Amino acid sequence: MKIKRIEIIGFKSFVDRTVLNFEPGVTAILGPNGCGKSNVIDAIRWAMGEQNAKNLRGQAMEDVIFGGSKKRRPHGMAEVTMVFANPQSAGTSEFNQYSEIMITRRLYRNGDSEYLLNKTPCRLKDISELFMDTGVGARAYSIIEQGKIGSILHSRPEERRVLIEEAAGVTKYKARKKAALRK
Ligand code: ATP
Ligand code: MG
């Protein structure tokens, strides 16, 4: 799965609509301390369904909404949209007809939230399933943050196994088995 574009509105320091286009090849984001580089990664992780505010460097989920500055009032909503090129193998057969997959997450200050898949409201589960076994996703190995390599090396075998299962493509089947056994 390749990211083609990210659109960010009212998320952390991105108060106005900001569009990042990822051209073919390698993309690097550069800038002075505090300019919002890590906030881009937080936006990606959040759009893909991260539920733990601490993994987004905040205390509560509301902290992802633009909190205001000297010149700008706080926002009432944060929204992040990610557009992926759709490789044939990704997603369920239902999605193979699309050349792009678009996911959107919104959070309002009153706590309401929405997830959209190709502009249609969906469940968080639909977004999570879409990324299972692709190596992409809120917690998957496609995001290697500071200290991650060390934590993989020092993790217990059961924890490391989760990464191997994702790479081997069995995460989705394990999740489905777990859900089926619960019923
Ligand atoms: P460094 O080079 O130090 O890692 P960085 O470019 O990664 O910096 P970020 O951590 O992405 O910087 O951005 C930090 C900035 O984002 C801070 O100025 C902080 O005030 C701002 N910020 C974070 N959350 C919000 C929010 N909810 N509302 C407004 N601004 C926010
Ligand atoms: Mg940073």
Per-residue pLDDT tens over the stretch 138-176: 778 888 888 889 989 999 999 999 989 988 989 889 989
ipTM: 0.98
How many C-beta neighbours within 10 Å does residue 33 have?
A: 5
Query: Identity (one letter) of the amino acid at 7?
Result: E
Residue of 37, 39, 70, 145 to test ligand 1 pocket, by largest number of atoms within 8 Å of CB: 39
Neighbours of ion ligand 2 (CB under 5 A): 37-38
Q: How far apart are CA 133 and CA 173, in angstroms?
A: 9
**Mean per-residue pLDDT over the chain, rounded:** 91
pLDDT tens digits along 117-129: 999 999 999 999 8
Q: Which strands, in side-by-side order, build the sheet including 18-21? A: 18-21, 2-9, 77-85, 100-108, 113-117, 120-122
Q: Which helix (H) or strand (E) holds 178?
A: helix 171-182
The residue with greater pLDDT, 135 or 85, is 85
Counting every residue, how long is the chain?
A: 183
**Residues paired with residue 84 on neighbouring β-strands, in sequence order:** 3, 101
Geometric angle at alpha carbon 169, from 164 and 175, rounded to 5°: 95
DSSP 55: G
State the burial class of residue 3 (Cβ atoms within 10 Å of its Cβ: 0-12, 13-18, 19+): middle
> What crossing angle do the helices spanning 157-168 and 171-182 adopt, rounded to 10°?
110
Q: Is the pTM of this model over 0.80?
A: yes
| DSSP code of residue 92 | -
Q: Which of 6, 11, 13, 64 to mutate to test the pocket of ligand 1 (most atoms within 8 A of CB)?
A: 13
Whether 13 lines ligand 1, by a CB cut-off of 6 Å, is: yes
Whole-number pLDDT of residue 145: 83
pLDDT digits (tens, 9 = 90+) for 31-60: 999 999 999 999 999 999 999 999 999 999
Separation of CA 104 and ligand 2 centre (Å): 23
Going by their DSSP bridges, the two strands 113-117 and 120-122 should be labelled as: antiparallel
DSSP strands (E only) in the chain = 2-9, 18-21, 77-85, 100-108, 113-117, 120-122
Of all ligands present, the nearest one to the C-alpha of 34 is: 1
Relative to the alpha carbon of 42, which ligand is closest?
1
